[in-house]
């Protein structure tokens, strides 16, 4: 017997916890797992909104059949084609060969490309309404939140927004499905990490989506990952507005790359001097030991960033190169930057970070500190200056 969790009368959540997968998109760590949510609307007509990753397709079809209790499935709304949500389309179509797939003009070639499906596709226009009987579904595109074809589905009669990736989260469900059924603190950083890792690159597009959807009356936001927003809708809307503008809190993240600890010592000097300057939100992170997912998430929270590296074969320490490449890719904006490092003969670490600074166009608050072999008195004085300049820039 399957669970029957209703958002409203005969609008069901069909969600799957994935605690086996180590890496989301084969890249981002899933310490707390992840959930894939689909939704089923049963009215005079029936509609499934999104599916789940392929390994869950059998369970999804069984669940749909149980809830439909002999009725057919009339529509499958494809809000997004990334395979974590589209991965069970083929099995749903096999179970319901006459089901009509609903998507926009960018969805169609992806369905054919990923799954070879060309039949029974209905292309919708912006804000088009599909009646199911006593309830209806309305469709709004939100390009690049998260892919070009991404869209959301709105049920005006129930004031539910099926938002797909938008407003989603890492973290499998621990029994609670709605935001008032959970230990919110357990999820909170996973909500932020999902945004900073998956959605952050598209801040401008998130702003457009917020403006487009801003006029809708919304009582529930039902994403395809994580919890259903019901009592904390202002919280997540406020976060999305802030995050998509790349606004951040007062604080500093120091990320260092070190082989034998000389560069790490400089990081600790700067951290202490920052605290003495009144900055108490200071995080010191070893790039070689911390997955970039968590480093990006910390940098997303705080306005100040201090990057430091030893030299390595005339260049930068590889774990630092890796994190800088990710930061450039996501294109986080509006950060204050300071640079430090160490060299043993020709250097290379500090030079590479300076080049990175040009590429991301962050505001450099002071001259870099580059110690020869180990930090001496003069180097430490420069570090105190870096801390003061960073603290001043955050005031």
Residues near ligand FEO, by CB under 6 A: 80, 82, 84-85, 146-147, 165, 224-225
**Shortest Cβ 225–ligand FEO spacing (Å):** 6
User: Burial, 185: exposed, middle or buried (Cβ in 10 Å; 0-12, 13-18, 19+)?
Assistant: exposed
Identity of the residue, 90 or 384, whose beta carbon is nearer to ligand FEO in the bound complex: 90
Q: How far apart are CA 195 and CA 215, in angstroms?
A: 23
Q: How far apart are CA 13 and CA 43, in angstroms?
A: 15
Identity of the residue, 164 or 262, whose beta carbon is nearer to ligand FEO in the bound complex: 164
Identity of the residue, 135 or 225, whose beta carbon is nearer to ligand FEO in the bound complex: 225
**Shortest Cβ 379–ligand FEO spacing (Å):** 45
User: Burial, 353: exposed, middle or buried (Cβ in 10 Å; 0-12, 13-18, 19+)?
Assistant: buried
Q: Which two structure tokens, joined as six digits, stand for 98?
A: 């006459």
Identity of the residue, 164 or 220, whose beta carbon is nearer to ligand FEO in the bound complex: 164
Identity of the residue, 166 or 271, whose beta carbon is nearer to ligand FEO in the bound complex: 166
**Shortest Cβ 298–ligand FEO spacing (Å):** 23
What DSSP letter does each residue of 283-322 carry, written as one string? Answer: EEEETTTS-HHHHHHHHHHEEEEEEEEEEETTEE-HHHHH
**Shortest Cβ 167–ligand FEO spacing (Å):** 12
Identity of the residue, 29 or 315, whose beta carbon is nearer to ligand FEO in the bound complex: 29
Q: How far apart are CA 177 and CA 189, in angstroms?
A: 17
**Shortest Cβ 85–ligand FEO spacing (Å):** 6
**Shortest Cβ 213–ligand FEO spacing (Å):** 18
- CB-closest chain residue to ligand FEO: 82
Identity of the residue, 165 or 298, whose beta carbon is nearer to ligand FEO in the bound complex: 165
**Shortest Cβ 337–ligand FEO spacing (Å):** 30
Helix residue ranges, H only, the chain: 57-68, 83-86, 89-95, 107-115, 184-194, 203-213, 233-244, 262-276, 292-301, 318-330, 349-360, 377-394
**Residue 358, Cβ neighbours under 10 Å: how many?**
9
């Amino acid at each position: 017997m399957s669970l029957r969790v209703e958002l409203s009368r005969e609008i069901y959540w069909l969600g799957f916890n994935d605690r086996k997968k180590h890496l989301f998109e084969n890249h981002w760590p899933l310490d707390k797992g992840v959930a894939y949510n689909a939704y089923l609307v049963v009215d005079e007509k029936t509609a499934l909104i999104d599916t789940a990753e392929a390994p869950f397709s059998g369970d999804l079809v069984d669940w749909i059949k149980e809830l439909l209790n002999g009725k057919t499935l009339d529509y499958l709304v494809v809000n997004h084609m990334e395979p974590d949500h589209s991965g069970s389309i083929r099995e749903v179509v096999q179970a319901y060969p006459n089901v009509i797939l609903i998507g926009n003009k960018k969805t169609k070639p992806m369905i054919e490309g990923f799954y070879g499906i060309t039949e029974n596709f209905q292309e919708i226009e912006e804000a088009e309404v599909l009646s199911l009987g006593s309830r209806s579904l309305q469709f709004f595109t939100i390009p690049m939140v998260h892919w070009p074809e991404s869209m959301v589905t709105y049920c005006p009669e129930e004031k539910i927004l099926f938002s797909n990736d938008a407003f989603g989260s890492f973290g499998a469900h621990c029994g609670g499905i709605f935001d008032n059924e959970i230990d919110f603190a357990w999820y909170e950083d996973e909500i932020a990490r999902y945004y900073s890792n998956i959605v952050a690159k598209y801040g401008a597009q998130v702003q457009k989506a917020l403006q487009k959807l801003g006029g809708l009356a919304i009582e529930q936001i039902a994403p395809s990952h994580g919890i259903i927003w019901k009592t904390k809708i202002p919280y997540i809307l406020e976060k999305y507005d802030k995050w998509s503008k790349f606004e951040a809190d007062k604080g500093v993240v120091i990320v260092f790359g070190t082989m034998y600890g000389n560069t790490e010592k400089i990081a600790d000097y700067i951290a202490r001097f920052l605290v003495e300057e009144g900055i108490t939100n200071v995080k010191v992170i070893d790039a070689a030991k911390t997955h970039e997912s968590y480093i990006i998430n910390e940098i997303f929270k705080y306005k100040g960033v201090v990057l430091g590296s030893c030299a390595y074969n005339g260049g930068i320490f590889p774990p630092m190169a890796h994190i800088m490449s990710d930061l450039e890719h996501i294109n986080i904006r509006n950060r204050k930057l300071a640079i430090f490092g160490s060299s043993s003969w020709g250097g290379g670490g500090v030079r590479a970070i300076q080049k990175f600074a040009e590429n991301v166009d962050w505001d450099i608050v002071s001259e870099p500190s580059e110690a020869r072999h180990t930090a001496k008195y003069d180097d430490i004085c420069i570090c105190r200056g870096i801390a003061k300049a960073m603290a001043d820039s955050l005031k």
